[in-house]
Amino acid sequence: MGLLSDPNRRRALISLLTRLNAPICVVCYMAGVAWFMGLAFEPFTLRTYMSENAMGSTMVEEHFPAGERALATGREFAAHKKKAGGMPVDWLVKTMQSRGLEVFTQRFSRTLPFPDENKERYMVKGTNVYGILGPLELPAVGLLLGLAQYFRNQVFWAKDIIFLVNEHDLIGMQAWLEGYHHTNTTGMDWSPLQGRGGSIQAALSLELSSDVITSLDLVLEGLNGQLPNLDLANLFYAFCQKIGVLCTTQGKLQRNDWDSVSGYSHAVQTMMLMVMKQASGRSWGDHGLFLRYHIELPPSRASTVSVSTRLTSPPLAGSWKECIVS
């Protein structure tokens, strides 16, 4: 305290700091960069772990026996989509009802500030179809319907499960979320929802591009850098390891040779890709819109590499995706 209370010493300290201002700034900047680059160094990071024991992969049934049925349903959906020239709403409603779901539809429209990439149109109109499975009772679409039929037999579950097929990607998803939560932050026109399943606790969003899955990529970045609960991402990664499916982040596999130059370079590339995506502020999938409503979910995109695994599902058809919320 004496150094700062003495006017002469205080002036001397200020003079010293003024003379060394540039070198101090350079040193602090370099230290910050070095610390940031150290985040990709293995000893400074934590591997996949679970902080909530109840979410362990040993607590649930791990095998889904209806993969072939889901594949057939996905192909049937693709045929009806081609015949209808758009979302086969009537077929979806009838099929979901046959699975024992309480089915509802929602129409929406939005005027775009710029024409969309596909049809150069300013007005986008579509229909969302969703079904609710209560506790007493394309490829992605085929898997969704297969899961609905499988879940129907799990009578011990205490949560409602909502199966949603949304049209026009983010636009349809935003319309459904606004209708479900009685908000309108985008000025979009949508019809009120006729059915609800209570407060949404968590959600799962899948994008499937083939009927043979050999790898799953975790897409974590939401709006303005928001990220989902880490336990959900780690649980998803643990399941992939158990069933022998490759799980990547930013399209890159985790490597164990962290003490080599190539291993560290790989970790830096993965980290920088994630930083750049978070810095964009945009959502890289439907999951980002759920985070706005404080709904956690592990999003993933499936792709093919070379060999088949035990997890099979039908191919993605058009711009429709599946989302399961509970």
Rounded to an integer, the average pLDDT of 107-122 is: 73
Where does 237-292 show beta strands of DSSP type E?
246-249
What kind and span of H or E run contains 89?
Answer: helix 89-98
Whether pLDDT at 57 is above 70: no
**Per-residue model confidence (pLDDT) at position 25:** 93
Asked whether the CA dihedral 244, 248, 252, 258 is positive or negative, the reply is negative
**Per-residue model confidence (pLDDT) at position 121:** 62
Specify the amino acid at residue 96.
M
Rounded to an integer, the average pLDDT of 277-303 is: 77
**Cβ neighbours of residue 29 under 8 Å, at least 6 residues apart?**
none
Q: Which residues pair with 128 in a beta bridge?
A: 106
| pTM for the whole structure | 0.71
Find out whether 252 and 216 touch, Cβ atoms under 8 Å. Answer: no
Whether pLDDT at 308 is above 60: no
Cα 60 to Cα 56, 57, 146, 150, 253, distances in angstroms: 8, 6, 18, 14, 26
**Cβ neighbours of residue 12 under 8 Å, at least 6 residues apart?**
none
H-helix segments, 99-254: 140-151, 169-181, 230-243
Whether pLDDT at 291 is above 60: yes
57-61, 136-140, 193-197, 307-311: least confidently modelled range: 307-311
Q: What is the token pair recorded at 49?
A: 């772990």
**Cβ neighbours of residue 201 under 8 Å, at least 6 residues apart?**
159, 295, 326
Q: What is the mean pLDDT of the chain?
A: 78
**Per-residue model confidence (pLDDT) at position 56:** 60
Encode pLDDT of 120-153 as tens digits: 567 888 999 998 887 543 667 878 888 888 887 7
Angle at which helices 67-84 and 140-151 cross, to 10°: 130
Question: pLDDT class for 304, splitting at 50, 70, 90?
Answer: very low
**Per-residue model confidence (pLDDT) at position 310:** 25
